[in-house]
Structure 1
Amino acid sequence: MPRPRAPRPRSPDPQVSAWLVVGLGNPGPAYRGHRHNVGYLVAEALAARIGARFSAPRGMRAEVAEGRLGPLGPDSVKLAIMKSRSYMNETGGPVSKVQSWFGVPTSHLIAIHDELDIDPGKIRVKFGGGDNGHNGLKSIRRSLGTGDYFRVRVGVGRPPGRQDPADFLLSNFTAAERADLGVEVERAADAVESLMTLGLERTQSAFNS
């Protein structure tokens, strides 16, 4: 008989002080400007906000930045921000290693990723659910054995005409898209901060447009 699923988190657990934020993407400069790498951009924006630099701990296959959100004190939020050094379809292994190293439960994991089925300029925040064909999310599910974690989904829209979705994701943002990209990245970073401090329902009310 299958085990019942854990209750859906609606607000941060006061007993858990640390979070793991995972920006999904492919490593290396050749992929940096791709739509598929928007998760990396948001992770970098978050690290800049808390004044943290990425380093590559031995054996982790990831770049990690550590810090605290908010002023120092009992109410500050400790977080680790990571970018995998493996390709998207192998992201789960590094996520599992970093999660174990920092002792962060899956209920305090946030994945930031691109989403074809959401229009550019839109964000959706949710907990759990399917992977919608996203190879990074599928890899995380295989490694963690669950999809029950938070997702910040950054809309990139569907490809024009008959362009293959994979080719579309592995191509650079257009000049027009880049003009608004910085604002969209910062807004996604705002959504991550809101999840950690205010919880799911208030974050969805503010950002799910």
Structure 2
Amino acid sequence: MGEVGSAMCQSFGSLCSSLSSACRRKSKKSITMPSEKIRSIFRRSPIALSLVDLQAADQPLILINAAFTALTGYEASEIIGRNCRFLGRPDENFNSRAELRAATHAGQEVQVVLRNYRKDGSRFDNLLILHPVGGSGPGTPHMLGTQFAMRQSPDVTGRAERHLSLFLTALDEMDQRAERLIMSQRRQIAETTAQLLRGWSPKP
């Protein structure tokens, strides 16, 4: 994905690290209430963002932004408190769901393409990137996600890169002193996402 993809990954790591300082650990049955700092980041971002509480029952979405509601057609009141699997169907996304389960259990970043459905029933292929927040490894409290609707077009890679580069705009106003992902992790995120883009083709 070139320099844009690499820069996105570096910035995405900064975003996750910055969010870490604002997240609080709760018991397995309770839901974390996102801080005002996190809410402000979400409000300012023009791209779809979501925050998952991995320590609450059924790992619900606890925060989404306006771009997420625009992407899916659901209102925030219909989303918050639900596991994001409701956007898919039980007989689809078997391999991708298995990857997500393994990643959330291990507290590791992951990128997958999911067949999802908007509230009006229209289908879209969702390029989902999840990254641990508040630590890594088993016991990670949160996952930060970004969603990109893939459409068949000659410039799908360029659109994805522009989507990812918008993280830079959101991060311009953030504290850049946060610890960043090591280079090998940034490279892995960029390469895996690029592979998904190259290998993607819409299914009938």
When the two structures are superposed, what TM-score results if normalisation uses the length of structure 1?
A: 0.27
Give the structure with the higher percent helix.
2
